[in-house]
Amino acid sequence: MSRLTLVIGGAIVLTAPAWVWNPYHLHTLIMAGIFAVLALSLNLLLGYTGQLSLGHAAFFGIGAYASALLSVKLEWSPWIGLLAAIVLPGLAGYIIGRLALKLRGAYFVLLTISFAGCVSLVSVNWMDLTNGPLGIPGVPPVEIALPGLPALSLRTKSAYYYLVLAAVVLAYLLCLALIRSRVGRALVALRENETLAASVGIDATHYLVLAAVASAAMAGFAGGLYAHYTRFVSPEVFLFTYTITMVIMVVAGGKGTLAGPVVGAVLFTVLPEALREFTSYQWQMLLYGVLLIAVLFFMPEGVVPALRAAGPALRRRWKAS
């Protein structure tokens, strides 16, 4: 990507709240940001370790509940809630990673589904803590209180947009640092050939658990952001639809690339909203399913790698003509 497109793209993203005057469109962008963090987190596992987690909604949900419960029941600052939304899912990711990453392939997938199913049932049945299916209303908004300045509430959509944008950038940079480090190289080595990687001294469980913890913590953080944005948390945060949406975003965007999940997240939040006027939710989900199949059939690497491959070819043709 040239520097010019980067600057223009950055300017468009940074000034969005100024010219996206329709609050519903801004809401869509905020959700796209939250999903981008989720997709980046799933991509760490699916894209770089090759392990498909179908339990990622659990980490998202744990993050949302942790942040909501701490700030509603204990009335702690939402910032501590957001911190807990990183730490607790990270811890859960560690435990699940330790247990599940002894397994591979279908076994791993089933274990993650089971984990998510259990957590979801707990959220419905543990009435004293979670208020059951009724959920937790009145989650406070995030406030920035710097000493000497009046507290700045991120209650408005345009303010929250920047918080989410910062989260996306942070998640992206974290993934970038991780992938470019020794850890990232170890993960890719394990994905490509585990036996070979192990033979040169790469401790599979160690690195995979590390990836699981980072991934779970990021998904949890997205959950915390979601809780303080919608101001309401219910067992719906554990819906399998969330996991499916993340998977589609990663696979369609391009798993194992850093831009892929972000592009996928924006595409699959904006596209359904754009189609909303013409279609119902069922048609949209039906389309998701068909699209997932179509991508795997015709563009198995995803949109971003396909564009990357098509870019130079197009430029050459343009120059030739």
Residues that bind another protein (CB under 8 A): 50, 52, 99, 102-103, 105-107, 109-111, 113-115, 117-118, 121, 124-125, 240, 244, 247, 251, 280, 282-283, 285-286, 288-293, 296-297, 300
Per-residue burial over 288-299, b = 16 or more CB atoms within 10 Å of its CB, e = otherwise: beebeeebeeee
Token reading at 222: 């997205």
**Minimum Å distance from CB 132 to another protein?**
9
- Of 103 and 202, CB closest to another protein: 103
Q: How far apart are CA 75 and CA 73, in angstroms?
A: 6
- The span from the CA of 280 to the CA of 229, in Å, is 25
**Rounded to the nearest whole angstrom, what is the least distance from the CB of residue 95 to another protein in the complex?**
11
How is 180-239 classified by DSSP, letter by letter? HSHHHHHHHHHHH-HHHHHHTT--HHHHHHHHHHHHHHHHHHHHHHHHHHHSEE-GGGG-
Spatial separation of the C-alpha atoms in residues 220 and 88, rounded to whole Å: 8
* Comparison of 247 and 263: residue with beta carbon closer to another protein: 247
Cβ atoms of 301 and 257 closer than 8 Å = no
Residue 31 CB, nearest approach to another protein (Å): 19
Helix, strand or coil, per DSSP, at residue 289: helix
Please, which residues have CB within 8 angstroms of residue 308's CB and are 6 or more apart in sequence?
none
CB of 128 to another protein, least distance (A): 13
Q: Which among 104, 94, 69, 60 is positioned nearest to 240, based on CA atoms? A: 60
When the beta carbons of 79 and 240 are compared against another protein, the nearer one is 240
Q: Minimum distance from CB of 262 to another protein (Å)?
A: 20
Residue 13 or 113: which CB sits closer to another protein? Answer: 113
Our CB check for another protein shows the closer of 95 and 270 to be 95
Given 3-state DSSP classes, what are the helix, strand and coil percentages for the chain, each rounded to the nearest 5?
A: 80, 0, 20
Residue closer to another protein (CB basis): 84 or 212: 212
Minimum CB–partner distance for residue 247 and another protein (Å): 7
